[in-house]
Amino acid sequence: MSESTVVVFGDQPPVHLDRVAERAKVLVCDEKSLPQALPVADVLLVWDFTSDAVRDAWPGEGPRPAWVHTASAGVDRLLCPELIASDTVLTNARGVFEQPIAEYVAGLVIAMAKDFHGTWELQRQRRWQHRETMRLAGTRAVVVGAGPIGRAIGSTLAALGVVVDLVGRSARQGVRGGDELPGLLPSADWVVCAAPLTEANRGMFDRSVFDRMKSSARFINIGRGPLVVEKDLTAALMARRIGGAALDVFEHEPLASDDPLWDVPGLFVSPHMSGDTVGWRDHLAEQFQDNFERWCAGEPLLNIVDKRLGYVPVD
């Protein structure tokens, strides 16, 4: 096999790709140089997974890589009709983010149940105000998204005594079908969005969903921003139709400093960081290099995305 060319797209590419560099020519490109780099790439590593540049450049002239790997769980920012229809194999970073995100969601749930925000505020005011908080065990959570991230969230919450309903596109063992979601919402204390973004579910969390939730329920989104109609969530919080919410992802990122979401009462805002733990970039680089060795050996790649579905199918 002749020397392959691996193109790494990103302004801050991974430092450690030693195993790849031993077996291939590695080129680094940014948004400006990506259109010229694509035709010479056998493999494309999308390190900057926050950019739309690959989707924009893919329909251009010349050959396209045989394999594209993105250092993210979601692939919505890459997919275009031409990539979907091509023979290019697409893989993602499944296996890196699941447990960190599950821990983040569990942290949010505990913090909301125990009113840590209120305790911190009272401490700031030097006020001794005894309160009662929610017992977490026995509460109910609906986790929408039955992939690895949703499953990790479900098992982590279950370890805390939360009764979990996992909701996917269709019903199967241990998973409720999407058509059951409206009936599950009225009894849920926690509604967690962990779904991938597809055209079919864009804006799925809208007023109709928030109106079905009970007034004490909390909503958490660690999936993708466009899954939520942000103005409908804002209205629900402002009117106190739900008890609170936490968003780690947004329709437009980064969130502008003058965005009204910063000031919505009962809303916890975090900057798309739920899966990013110390050393996560090294884990992503190692995962890609492991898969690259499989590619060089002619072995089946791991984490192959069904491009028409937009995610790695779960067995």
Cα within 13 Å of Cα(176), Cβ side: 17
From 230, 213, 224, 293, select the one nearest 267 (Cα to Cα): 230
Is 130 catalytic? The answer is no
Answer yes or no: 253 catalytic.
yes
Q: How far is CA 222 from the centre of its chain?
A: 6
Identify the pLDDT of residue 15.
84
Clarify whether residues 201 and 175 are in a common domain: yes
The question of whether 22 is a catalytic residue gets the answer no
Q: How far apart are CA 171 and CA 166, in angstroms?
A: 10
136 part of a folded domain: yes
Contact between 28 and 49 (Cβ < 8 Å): no
Give φ, ψ of 30 to 5 degrees: -115, -170
Question: Are the C-beta atoms of 283 and 305 separated by less than 8 Å?
Answer: no
pLDDT computed for residue 300 by the predictor: 97
- If one counts the domains in the chain, the total is 2
DSSP lists the bridge partners of residue 150 as none
Domain that residue 168 falls in: 97-267
pTM of the predicted structure, to 2 decimals: 0.94
- Token duo for residue 189: 């204390």
Determine which one of 64, 98, 224, 230 is catalytic.
224
In tens digits, the chain (315 residues) has pLDDT values of 578 999 999 988 888 899 999 999 999 999 999 999 999 999 999 999 999 999 999 999 999 999 999 999 999 999 999 999 999 999 999 999 999 999 999 999 999 999 999 999 999 999 999 999 999 999 999 999 999 999 999 999 999 999 999 999 999 999 999 999 999 999 999 999 999 999 999 999 999 999 999 999 999 999 999 999 999 999 999 999 999 999 999 999 999 999 999 999 999 999 999 999 999 999 999 999 999 999 999 999 999 999 999 999 976
Tell me: do 138 and 112 sit in the same domain: yes
In the chain, which ranges are continuous DSSP H helix? 18-21, 34-37, 53-57, 81-85, 98-113, 116-124, 148-159, 181-184, 207-212, 230-238, 280-296
Same domain as 208, residue 102: yes
Which of the residues 19, 23, 212, 272 is marked catalytic? 272
Amino acid 264: pLDDT: 98
- Over its C-alpha atoms, the chain yields an Rg (Å, rounded) of 21
CATH number at residue 150: 3.40.50.720
Q: Which candidate in 121, 253, 293, 299 is catalytic?
A: 253
Same domain for 109 and 254, yes or no, is: yes
